[in-house]
Amino acid sequence: MDNQNVERDIKATLKKNWKLFKQSRLGITGLTIVIFFGFLAILQPILFLTNIWDEATYHPVVGYDAEQVARTVVECPDQYPTREYQTKEDCPKVDEVNIRYLKAFNIQVEVGDIYESNVQPAPPSSRHLLGTDSLGRDIFSQIMEGSQVAFLLGLISAIIGVGISTLLGTAAAFYGGKLDTYLMRQSDLVLMLPTLPFLFIISAFAELKVWHLAIVLGTLGGLGGSVITIKSQALQVKVKPFVDSARITGGSKRRIMFSHILPNVAPLALLYMVFSVTGAIASESVLSFLGLLNIDMSWGIMIYLSQTEGFIFTGLKYWWLIVPAGLAVTLLAGGFYLVGRGLDDVFNPRLRRR
Amino acid sequence: MVESLLEVKNLSMHYDTLDGNVDAVKDISFTVKSGESFGLVGESGCGKTSVAMTLLQLQPDNSVITEGSIKLDGKELIGLSENELRKVRWDSVSIVFQGAMNAWNPVVKIGEQIREAMREHYPENSKQQNINKINELFKMVGLDESISERFPHELSGGMKQRAVIALALSCDPKLIIADEPTTALDVVIQDQILNEIKKVQDLLGLSLIYISHDIAVIAEMTDKIAVMYAGSIVEIGPTQEVFKSPKHSYTRALLDSTPSIRGEKKKLRSLDGEPPSLINKIDGCSFSPRCPTPTTQCKNQSIEMRLVKVGDDHFADQCCSGCVKNE
Amino acid sequence: MNKNILEVRNLVKHFEVSKSVFSRNKKIVKAVDGISFDIKAGETLGLVGQSGCGKTTTARSLCLLDPKTSGSVNFFNPDSKNMESIDNIDEDGIRIFRRNMQMIFQDPYESLNPRWTIKDIIKEPLDIHNIGSLSEREDAIVEILRTVGLTPPENYLSRYPHEISGGQRQRVSIARTLVMKPKFVVCDEPTSMLDVSIRISIMDLMLNLAKELEVSYLYITHDLAVARYMCNRIAVMFNGKIVEIGETEELLQNPVHPYTKRLISSIPIPDPTYKRERYKVNFDELDNIISKNPNEKMVDIGGGHLVATHDTKDFLIES
């Protein structure tokens, strides 16, 4: 009976909060984006398990698929511009191949022939929805793998970060004095610390895997500005009469901190958690882009690869190598941010419209 | 016959919220004559502040006026555009809120803030004219002239609230609405402020609508009172008459539950239950669940709420008009 | 004659306030400046005064929420049947003191932890002091809920504070306070945020419980009318000092100190036919008393009616 009641209460609270969250258009947009990527992340292993996708072809890291494309053999002129080509980069076009290149491999063809060859990267087709990369790997599968990495990294680092900052912030507010001074100076230092250069240095000494990065990012986030915010919230709770009431009764400091203050700081901490996911996802892609992470596949790695292989400078000719990954990073990071904004409406009654 | 300055007829208003419609004001009618003090008394959440806001058309965006009319000096206020309303507010009505003393702009001197309001309404006045008038008003509310050169944080709460009254008077309104103007203040200061309001009202012949939950303050300040419960007026009449022979059970309960420092120390009577939620539609008398002397008629909720005459200029809700037997 | 349950002597609480961020000069605010009073078993003493006069600070010092600056507080230890000073007792003594002393707060919306159920809120004191077995604690909670008029208790146990009304919350506060059967409860304006029609029922409940459970209250309020209804004796406080203390009716009928007089004359009367007279401050009566007792700080003018003399005169200059 008791448990049922509690269950009912939790359901009612959730229902009310959901109702408030629903009011926020930003929050719902964000949630849709997050759910979409969450779906992608889960979909990939299901596709492999059900053998709809065969691992040899579609695996994001070791898969390979060569696509045969018929191309017209042309001879690129020495002088530009010509009637057909504006600059040197325009020749050959995507559906053309330069005869000089083929001659170098001793392939006997004439200008105007149709030459069939493997193309990597291959443009999007029904077989590979977003095409393949320069090694013949499926981009769509890589995006899915990347969203797994993003969720894993974002959530782990957010949980670690928020755990640390909630504990430290509450302790700073509760004990005050020297501990407070120390923690505040520490978070000032961490705030001043340039995070990215710091991460470069770390990656120079140690090979960073995803979960290493999650711990580092989480710790840095947890020691930084959020300690100050959580502390200010905890200070507000600390002077509430119900805390005084527990003190008068003789409640121990531990009881007051863990039973009274922490549960009342938790909603704000949750909010911070959602916001910090955004930061973690962005940091990962920057580090991967610079090639500083030892990760098999992620959105950052995808952009990194297209950059190291020179595709990034070809404009939008090989767009499927860059745009999906870039868009995914932007959307998911933005999605979490928007969910945070929506939750802000729920937890901060002052922001509510009515 | 004295003409009525404000005429409110069948005013109904609800707030549109996530949980449903909150019927804050239900079919309210009253008139305020010029020079009269009208008291609106009721517990928190009974809709008295909603009435005040609606009178000035300052109600929040999610409120909907379903019917009724508010006539100020013969002019209908409902449906006026924001520009026309701005002229009516201040020009003929001004309002003093409960927290008004905290609404001063902290970085502008008090006098400058009052002059700003005056410039808006009397653009032809010279600066010196305005200053003279402010000094006059300050004298009226018991403030020193030098206060106008001070910043809000240099003043105490009581002084700030007096300055608010001076501000409210600065544009020569005919009607002042005071919504719990002394609730946040100490008794001694409350006493002074009440005195200033009364003095100014007599001096300038203003009408006053005084809104409060405190029966004792209402008793001292007003000529006529309306008792509100759950969004409706349940009893309305001359203050002395209502205090002497309350007709509605709720009025009676309010009077019986107010401690006094004068007279015999008597056992106060409490009222069981809680005010009803305004979200759910209430059939019949909204007070009947708490009524100490319910009749079978109102228990069955078969009787509509409507004011009926119970004495000279004294009306009470028909459900309970005969509930109270005066001992 | 009832025994004293609490004796306060020369209680002083000073706060240090730095004048500005950069200045090292500390200004001392004398929030409570040497007050003395006794509370007898089963008695309610009202502490009345304007906001900022130090009444809440007094309460917080008595409840050991903030350490007092100086002065002595003795309480009646029901275990040893002796008056004991709270300054020189051991941990156990403090535990006994805390078990016998509770506080009810003004704001019913802030005084209950919003994330706890009513049951957990009321159970906390029993848990802290480890009173009774778990099932005995449950029984005690149901019992006390019934006592404070929240019936049937089963309906309230698993609810959260935001699901009940202000009056009901204050009843829960009272239940939590009284569940350990304390001998002394400090009430900091417990009804000032409640509606008139609910206020009286809470005050009546507290009065009945005082009789039933033999609790003494220190009842803090700014409203003399409420104090008159609740209290056997009233102490009027001003600027950190008690200016006058006496039996309720005696104090209200024959106030001596100008501040008390002014306070009484400021209270609106719920009777439209009554015309209140404005009191003009004069010191004649007080000066007369001072001239007869030039060396005493508090003068007894009969029947335990005490009036403060010299050091409370300066308030005229301020106001």
Give the integer Cα–Cα distance in Å for B70 and B12. Answer: 11
Q: Shortest CB distance from A248 goes to which of C63, C110, C160?
A: C63
pLDDT digits (tens, 9 = 90+) for A68-109: 777 788 887 877 777 777 777 777 777 777 787 777 777 777
Q: How many domains does chain B have?
A: 1
Closest chain A CA to residue C120? A259
Q: Shortest CB distance from C195 goes to which of B43, B243, B262?
A: B43
Q: Is residue B308 part of a domain?
A: yes
Mean pLDDT by runs of 10 across the 327 residues of chain B is: 80 84 88 91 86 86 87 86 81 82 86 88 87 88 86 85 87 88 81 87 90 90 92 91 89 87 79 78 78 74 77 84 63
Give the integer Cα–Cα distance in Å for C62 and C10. Answer: 12
Place of tokens 């999906």: A324
Selected residue of B261, B274, B314 to mutate for chain C interface (largest C Cβ count, 10 A):
B261
**Chains with ≥3 Cβ pairs under 8 A against B?**
A, C
CB B13 within 8 A of CB B64: yes
Q: How far apart are the CA of A345 and the nearest CA of chain B, in angstroms?
A: 14
Record: contact C124-A244, CB cut-off 8 A: no
Selected residue of C63, C101, C113 to mutate for chain A interface (largest A Cβ count, 10 A):
C113
Q: Is residue B283 part of a domain?
A: yes
Share of chain A above pLDDT 90, in %: 12
Q: How far apart are the CA of A342 and the nearest CA of chain B, in angstroms?
A: 16
pLDDT at B327: 46
Q: Shortest CB distance from C197 goes to which of B43, B260, B265?
A: B43
Q: Is residue B311 part of a domain?
A: yes
Question: Mean pLDDT for chain A?
Answer: 83
Q: Shortest CB distance from A248 goes to which of C98, C115, C159?
A: C98
pLDDT at A353: 46
Record: contact A250-C65, CB cut-off 8 A: no
Q: How far apart are the CA of A265 and the nearest CA of chain B, in angstroms?
A: 26
Q: What is the mean pLDDT of residues C102-130?
A: 89
Q: How far apart are the CA of C152 and the nearest CA of chain A, in angstroms?
A: 15
Kindly report the CA angle at A23 between A19 and A24, in degrees rounded to 5? 125
HSE-CB of B321 using CA atoms within 13 angstroms: 17
Give the integer Cα–Cα distance in Å for C135 and C133. Answer: 6
Show residues of chain A in contact with C65, CB under 8 Å. Answer: 244, 247-248
DSSP for B27-60, written as a single string: EEEEEEETT-EEEEE--TTSSHHHHHHHHTT---
Give the integer Cα–Cα distance in Å for A63 and C291. Answer: 106
Selected residue of B14, B16, B18, B64 to mutate for chain A interface (largest A Cβ count, 10 A):
B18
**Chains with ≥3 Cβ pairs under 8 A against A?**
B, C
- Res. A250: pLDDT tops 50: yes
Whether this prediction's pTM lies above 0.90 is answered by no
Record: contact A20-B18, CB cut-off 8 A: yes
Closest chain A CA to residue B16? A354
Q: Shortest CB distance from A249 goes to which of C111, C128, C160?
A: C128
pLDDT digits (tens, 9 = 90+) for C47-71: 998 887 888 899 999 888 888 888 8
Say if strands B207-212 and B37-41 run parallel, antiparallel, or are unpaired. parallel
Chain B contact for A20, CB < 8 A?
yes
Q: Which domains does chain A have, with CATH numbers?
A: 19-46+138-351 (1.10.3720.10), 67-119 (no CATH)
CB A27 within 8 A of CB A339: yes
Closest chain A CA to residue B15? A354
Q: Shortest CB distance from C110 goes to which of A242, A247, A259?
A: A242
Show residues of chain A in contact with B60, CB under 8 Å. Answer: 354
Record: contact B261-C201, CB cut-off 8 A: no
Q: Shortest CB distance from B219 goes to which of C195, C263, C268?
A: C268
pLDDT digits (tens, 9 = 90+) for A276-334: 888 888 888 888 888 777 788 888 888 888 888 777 777 777 788 888 888 999 999 99
Kindly report the CA angle at C194 between B217 and B99, in degrees rounded to 5? 60
Selected residue of A249, A254, A265 to mutate for chain C interface (largest C Cβ count, 10 A):
A249
Q: What is the mean pLDDT of residues A180-206?
A: 87
Closest chain A CA to residue C186? A248
In terms of Cα–Cα distance, which of A159, A175, A168 is closest to A230? A168
Q: How far apart are the CA of B188 and the nearest CA of chain C, in angstroms?
A: 5
pLDDT at C219: 94
pLDDT band at A1 (very low <50, low <70, confident <90, very high): very low
Chain B contact for C200, CB < 8 A?
yes
pLDDT at B211: 92
Q: What residue numbers bound the domain in which B295 lies? A: 247-260+271-327
Give the integer Cα–Cα distance in Å for C310 and C298. Answer: 9
pLDDT digits (tens, 9 = 90+) for B154-195: 888 888 888 888 888 888 888 999 988 887 778 888 888 888
Q: How far apart are the CA of B16 and the nearest CA of chain C, in angstroms?
A: 21
Q: Is residue B163 part of a domain?
A: no
pLDDT digits (tens, 9 = 90+) for C285-299: 887 887 787 777 788
Selected residue of C44, C189, C196 to mutate for chain B interface (largest B Cβ count, 10 A):
C196
Record: contact B271-C197, CB cut-off 8 A: yes
Closest chain C CA to residue B191? C266
Give the integer Cα–Cα distance in Å for B78 and C116. Answer: 46
Give the integer Cα–Cα distance in Å for A270 and A229. Answer: 12
pLDDT digits (tens, 9 = 90+) for C151-188: 888 888 888 888 888 888 999 999 999 898 898 999 99
Share of chain C above pLDDT 70, in %: 94
Q: Shortest CB distance from C197 goes to which of B188, B191, B254?
A: B254
Give the integer Cα–Cα distance in Å for A319 and C246. Answer: 90
Q: Is residue B170 part of a domain?
A: no
Cis amide prior to A121 (ω within 30 degrees): yes
Residue C70's DSSP bridge partners are C12
pLDDT digits (tens, 9 = 90+) for A219-235: 988 888 889 989 998 99
Closest chain A CA to residue C113? A242
Chain C contact for A247, CB < 8 A?
yes
- Res. A54: pLDDT tops 90: no
Give the integer Cα–Cα distance in Å for B62 and B40. Answer: 24
Record: contact A19-B62, CB cut-off 8 A: no
Chain B contact for A15, CB < 8 A?
no
- Angle between helical axes of A299-308 and A139-175 (0-180°, round to 10): 130
How many residues would you count in chain C? 319
Show residues of chain B in contact with A20, CB under 8 Å. Answer: 18
Domain C4-100+182-318 carries which CATH code?
Answer: 3.40.50.300
Three-state DSSP class for residue C124: helix
Closest chain C CA to residue A247? C65
pLDDT digits (tens, 9 = 90+) for C203-255: 999 999 888 888 999 999 988 989 999 999 999 998 888 989 999 999 999 99
pLDDT at A347: 74
pLDDT digits (tens, 9 = 90+) for A55-76: 777 788 777 777 777 778 888 7
Show residues of chain A in contact with C98, CB under 8 Å. Answer: 248-250
pLDDT at A354: 40
CB contacts < 8 A, B to C, total 113
- Res. A35: pLDDT tops 90: yes
- Res. A33: pLDDT tops 90: yes
Give the integer Cα–Cα distance in Å for B30 and B9. Answer: 7
A137: phi then psi, degrees, rounded to nearest 5: -100, 150
Query: What are the residue boundaries of the structural domains of chain C, listed by start?
Result: 4-100+182-318
Classify the phi-psi angles of C81: left when phi > 0, otherwise alpha if psi is within -120 to 50, otherwise beta: left
